[in-house]
Chains A and B, each alone.
Chain A
Amino acid sequence: MRPPDFEYELAEDVQGAVSALAQGESVMAIAGGQSLIPLLRLRIARPSRVVDIGRVPGLTGISVSDESTELGALVTTADVAASDDISRSNPLWTEAARVIADPLVRNLGTVGGNLAHADPLNDLPAALVASRGEVLAEGPNGVRTIASDDLFVSPFTTSLEPGELITRLIVPGSPSGAYEKLKRAAADYGVVAVAVQLDIGDGGDIRSAGVSLSGTSAVAPRSNRAEQTLVGTNGGDDVIEGAALAAAEDADLAADERGSIRYKRAVVGALAARALRRAIARGNG
């Protein structure tokens, strides 16, 4: 279907976008449009005005160090997937970006939009939570930092205030990361996915752990029990099995055309074990 009529505004800078968005709930930002346009066409979203932030200067750019990966909100998921620097210092993000939809969607979809949309089936929210990243948000009252655990409130709802935009992502880097996703077909959303990021000491000891999921009822829930199972160990087979089981048991799942709860729980367990094995191997490699 065609969307109902709406006004279109091309924002020139962050301030302009913020003040346009602060005018009310019926004004919406559009970045890559890969989630918003389908909603407009299905007439689920009915904004009176759409503010295009796609050409706002200063929201692009990838900068990578061993400690962290910084991404402008308009960096596309294709850019993340293709970056050698990210793949070296933050393989979790490379793997997560590479399994998002198909190249057409990845070429247009942005990292900021992927998080702000807060779709429980999106992949980057779980990556953000597992890596304990944070976002910079700019709004009518200035700039603030939102930690990953505070960003996602419920499906399709974030803690962003009206008028607030995500401008930047700051993600701690670690070579010990991995993303495992089960898709029914290449261009499909996932059934479930597991994001893992570990900090492994020289002796092979896991100093901290991040485990989060996509495809559950909540947006990117943190698997606390799985993380606790891992921390302080050397990540042997028993630990991996135990952590994977905890992640599976604690996942809040719903049955739908992608599978039963029983099925999804089993897949969370299988994928968690695979992601952990790969992350640990990378950390020790």
Chain B
Amino acid sequence: MGAVGERLRRKNDPRLLVGHGRYVDDITVPHVVHASFVRSPLAHAEILGIDTEDARRARGVVAVFAGDEVANAMPLLPTAAADESPPRRPLTGDRVRYVGEAVAMVLAETAAQAEHAAALVAVDYEPLPVVLGPWKALAGDAPLVHPERGTNKIGEIHKVIGDPDGAFAAADHVVKRRHAVQRISASPLEPRGTLAVPEPATGELTVWMACQSPHTIRTWLSDILSIDESKLRVIAPDVGGGFGSKLNLYSDELAVMWGALQLGRPVKWTETRTENFTAAVHARDQIHHVEMALRADGKILGLRSHFVGDLGAYFHFFTPVVPDLTIDTLTGNYDIPSVDIKLEKVFTNTMSIEALRGSGRAEATFVLERMIEESAREIGMDPLEMRLLNLVSPEQLPYETPFELTYDSGDYPAMLSRAAELIGYEAIKGSQRNLREKGIYRGVGVATYNLLCGFSPSGHDWNPMKFFPGHETALIRVDPHGKTVVYSGLSPHGQGSDTVVAQLVADELQIPFDDIAVKHGDTETIPYGGGTHGSRGAVVGGHAALIAAQRVVAKAKDVAGAMLEASSEDVVYEGGSFRVAGSREPALAWQEVAEEAHFLKHSGPMFEPGLEATAFYDPPSVNFAFGATAAHVEVDVETGVVSIIEFVSVDDCGVALNPGIVDGQLHGGIAQGVGQALYEQVSHDEDGQVVSASFGSYLLPSAVEMPKLTMERFVTPSATPLGVRGVGESGTLATPAAIVNAVVDALEPFGVRVEQTPLRPNVLWELIHPEPTE
């Protein structure tokens, strides 16, 4: 009995699947004007002048905003680490610093008219030298992205823990490698969109926005637009994926809101796909130079990495902390006592780096798991064996990492062994020689992960934002018929958290799953919430709902006690009915109690009417999920094409509240990992043009590219009341390394050295068949 643990269908899917979703672009209001942006075609240039005459005269045009004066009248955008961040406004009037930066906004009666008029705005640019590539940006003579800062370097973090120098001195082997993690784009199915509706008579502003965290946006808007939060309403309607890219308040979104306030008319903007590739945040983009110190038997003694994070031209909400997260998770599941990690962060003339599913941790996992693979190969040890030797063992738990994270429980070696067993590690290794003789190159690779997630408590170290809560909230309201609405502060946009919340509330209230509706994404109806990101849905949002449900049950017992003329402590609630402990009196049904709570027909004023409760939950600490993956691949050495024959994922997310949703989250994460390993890449030419600004060039894995998946779950409940661990980002972490490790294994006879991804066919072929040197 009970809904938790069942593979229930997601509540929203039927509606979305038949096309009845309501995304920002589907929402129409009267008198709306449409926005289109003029964006910089250059990565770095001074703006000498902007001629908007023709655009202003074009059919349907209502207003054109451009130029220094206008830009300076606009509010500053909120960013991470406000004192270090260069100021940024919705439009730039003097200088552009990346391709796609908004220079002018055209408002017109139709979206087509706005777009046509935008093409008539003539901007006179004086090109400036472009800075691309993080190491080049650090060079003394590099052009400066923000000349007033005097350097492109944003900061340096150097963490030395244990005795790395001693470890390297004592090592029998030191393995050195370079690993680059390429820049990627979130590529949500729905690009961004904003509809801002002002009410000049009252000073109110309602904003529909494809976003992941509406309350955070509301608080920031209040701050920068000087409108009381009581007069601001932010609504995230159906949102078609975000992956972190919709956590921000962007320049174009703020320009739309500002324009609506200037005009006193609603303004709507829907991002095009082309815009999304340049004007929505990018992710990853780190280059590591790594050294691993090893004892002769394969024990890892120490790890050094000197790495650089290319952060783009400006800060968004989390830009500077993404690579910080890489440092703090760089030892993964392994017992590596001594580390020496140096990070330099730089500005370049590119779009900002931001949080994207697995951010910071995916880079760390890739570098570590590639490094272990390379080390094992270099010292002639089996990579699986080396991992098993170095993984933190169950006996070592709780285990404190060099970065002071405390892993609570789990069995990492058992999971890795199981993944190896499921993929048929030994059999694949055993058949390699014969197959190679026939020209068939197959390989097997493994990788493990430990997902730091559910970032909390609110004041945690990786939170660089003044307004960004770590807590989550839920209001549960029971109506007189006993049906229940949960108002959740989560803002799911594809994750299915609404379904999961309904499941656990159903069990707590002992009522049917179908009697529960979950509402989210509207600041007017939902108590102050944190939204959906960082694998926090169940671990933070789930607990808020659980606590609220417990409070509702307590209240219902008060009501039942009044009806049964007993004290509420003597009331038991079991199997959906209330009775006095030990009594044989007829029991009260949930619905009877709900009705009485509202109309008080049978009991005097012994309780406060109504049946609802709110809970805010700020977890005491972060949460960890972990697992192991294995890939079996074949490489066509004539063409460089990699086929994944099978992919195994063994995951521990603690108690799986809805196994179907957990599987779905893992599938999606694995797909992103496949993309990182083999397909996706934001690429720039030497002028800083984004040459990958369409799906013809930015290759996304589709159903066809997804491998056969074999999934298995370990269940180690976390120490939280629900026993849950995060899962939303898990699949992104170990997948790329497992695939690349398998490719390296397949190509062992060629001794290829992989230093960067994606391994597109031509890239891999060039490694297999290097140009003959004279």
Contacts and interface: CB of A to CB of B under 8 A. Distances in A.
Interface of A: 1-2, 4, 102, 182, 184-189, 191, 257-260, 262-263, 266-267, 270-271
Interface in B665-707: 679, 683, 691, 695-697, 699-702, 704-705
A257 B771 contact: no
B595 to A, nearest CB: 53
A186 B683 CA distance: 20
8 contacts: A1-B272, A2-B112, A182-B641, A184-B679, A185-B699, A186-B702, A188-B699, A260-B766
A1 B275 CA distance: 9
A266 B771 CA distance: 12
Contacts of A187: 695, 702, 704
Contacts of A186: 702, 704-705
A97 to B, nearest CB: 17
A93 B163 CA distance: 66
Given A184-B679, A186-B704, 5 more contacts: A2-B116, A182-B639, A266-B638, A266-B765, A267-B638
Interface string B97-112: 0000000000000011
A182 B696 CA distance: 15
A276 to B, nearest CB: 14
Given A184-B699, A266-B638, A270-B638, A260 B762 contact: yes
A187 B769 CA distance: 27
Contacts of A2: 111-112, 115-116
A191 B761 contact: yes
Contacts of A262: 771
A263 B683 contact: no
A266 B637 CA distance: 11
Please indicate which of the listed interface residues B702, B704, B762 has the most CB atoms of chain A within 10 Å of its own CB. B762
Contacts of B116: 2, 4
B605 to A, nearest CB: 64
A186 B641 CA distance: 12
A199 to B, nearest CB: 28
Contacts of A102: 702
B15 to A, nearest CB: 23
Given A257-B683, A263-B766, A188 B696 contact: yes
B274 interface: yes
B115 A263 contact: no
B696 A270 contact: no
Contacts of B704: 185-187
A263 B765 contact: yes
Given A257-B697, A258-B762, A259-B762, A185 B641 contact: no
Interface in B720-774: 760-762, 765-766, 769, 771
A182 B641 CA distance: 9
Contacts of A1: 115, 272, 274
Given A1-B115, A182-B639, A263 B272 contact: no
Interface residues of B, number: 29
Nearest to B637: A270
Interface in B79-121: 111-112, 115-116
B665 to A, nearest CB: 23
Nearest to B765: A263
A121 to B, nearest CB: 10
A36 to B, nearest CB: 16
A183 to B, nearest CB: 9
Nearest to B275: A1
A191 B697 CA distance: 12
Tell me whether chain B's interface is mostly helix, strand or loop, or mixed: loop
Contacts of A258: 762
B228 to A, nearest CB: 38
A184 B760 contact: yes
A266 to B, nearest CB: 7
Interface string B611-643: 000000000000000000000000000111100
B274 A191 contact: no
B761 A184 contact: yes
B274 A185 contact: no
Contacts of B115: 1-2
A257 B638 contact: no
Contact of B705 (A185, A260, A270): A185
Contacts of B639: 182, 267, 270-271
B29 to A, nearest CB: 21
A196 B452 CA distance: 54
A171 B691 CA distance: 39
A185 B638 contact: no
Interface in B251-299: 272, 274
Contacts of B702: 102, 185-187
Nearest to A189: B696
Contacts of B705: 185-186
Contacts of A270: 638-639
B691 A257 contact: yes
B679 to A, nearest CB: 6
A197 B126 CA distance: 55
Q: What 5 pairs between A and B have smallest CB-CB spacing?
A: A259-B762, A186-B704, A270-B638, A185-B699, A263-B762
Contacts of B638: 266-267, 270
Contacts of B697: 257
Contact of B762 (A185, A188, A189, A191): A191
Given A1-B272, A266-B638, A185 B701 contact: yes
A102 B702 CA distance: 10
A186 B111 CA distance: 33
B679 A185 contact: yes
A46 B345 CA distance: 45
A159 B23 CA distance: 47
Contacts of A4: 116
A182 B642 CA distance: 12
Contacts of B272: 1
A57 B699 CA distance: 38
B9 to A, nearest CB: 26
A1 B111 CA distance: 10
Contacts of A184: 679, 699, 760-761
A270 B641 CA distance: 12
Contacts of B760: 184
B61 to A, nearest CB: 15
A267 B695 CA distance: 23
Contacts of A188: 696, 699
A257 to B, nearest CB: 6
A240 to B, nearest CB: 14
Contacts of B762: 191, 258-260, 263
A185 B641 CA distance: 10
Contacts of B683: 257
B613 to A, nearest CB: 49
Contacts of B769: 266
Contacts of B700: 185
A68 to B, nearest CB: 33
A271 B705 CA distance: 21
B761 A182 contact: yes
Contacts of A263: 640, 762, 765-766
Nearest to A187: B702
Nearest to A257: B697
B747 to A, nearest CB: 16
A120 B695 CA distance: 19
A259 B765 contact: yes
Nearest to A180: B639
A24 to B, nearest CB: 23
Contacts of B679: 184-185
A260 B704 CA distance: 26
A259 B704 CA distance: 22
Nearest to B274: A1
Nearest to B116: A4
Contacts of B771: 262
Nearest to A255: B762
B200 to A, nearest CB: 31
A187 B703 CA distance: 10
A1 to B, nearest CB: 6
A234 B13 CA distance: 59
